[in-house]
Amino acid sequence: MTARVSKALWRVRFAHCGARPACGTCMLAFIVVAALLAVPANIARGGTTNPAPQDEKPPAGNNQNGKKLFTSYGCFECHGHQAEGTSVGGPRLGPNPMSFPAFIKYVRQPTGQMPPFTTKVTSDSDLADIYAFLQSLPQPPKADTIPALK
């Protein structure tokens, strides 16, 4: 343990009550800070130790078919017709969707209220078409270009 970390832990441990080492509040604070300092920074921020490559190219998909699939699977009900997201439903998906591998993983094993779309429900090629549709969506207008917001 470095001297800087030791000093930080000592300050936290005895900040509450002076120098009484038996204080439960100080001991709890000491343990929490020590545990946080022991966790690597990238894991504490929710990252992974091996970041995904950013230059992965998504598979070619048919954006017209993707739009039909987006509608037929009911994705629009939560994410909006243009994948803009809604305040009570799903988040914005387009026009810059997450990476294709992350998209597939989330669709197959979602968190929250979204139902899973397993390979029995939809194929990877259908998801590639939906992803192509999401990529084809235009960027929303900037807030300063909307007259009602000026």
User: What pLDDT, in 10s, does the model give residues 44-98?
Assistant: 445 443 444 445 677 788 999 999 999 999 999 999 988 988 888 888 888 887 8
The predicted-structure confidence for 5-23, as pLDDT tens digits, reads as follows: 445 444 544 444 555 555 6
**If DSSP states are collapsed to H, E and C, what string results for the chain?**
CCHHHHHHHHHHHHCCCCCCCCCHHHHHHHHHHHHHHHCCHHHHCCCCCCCCCCCCCCCCCCHHHHHHHHHHCCHHHHHCCCCCCCCCCCCCCCCCCCCHHHHHHHHHCCCCCCCCCCCCCCCHHHHHHHHHHHHHCCCCCCHHHCHHHC
Please count the residues of the chain: 150
* Res 39 pLDDT > 50: yes
- Among candidate residues 103, 33, 44, the one with its CA nearest the CA of residue 75: 103
pTM for the structure as a whole: 0.59
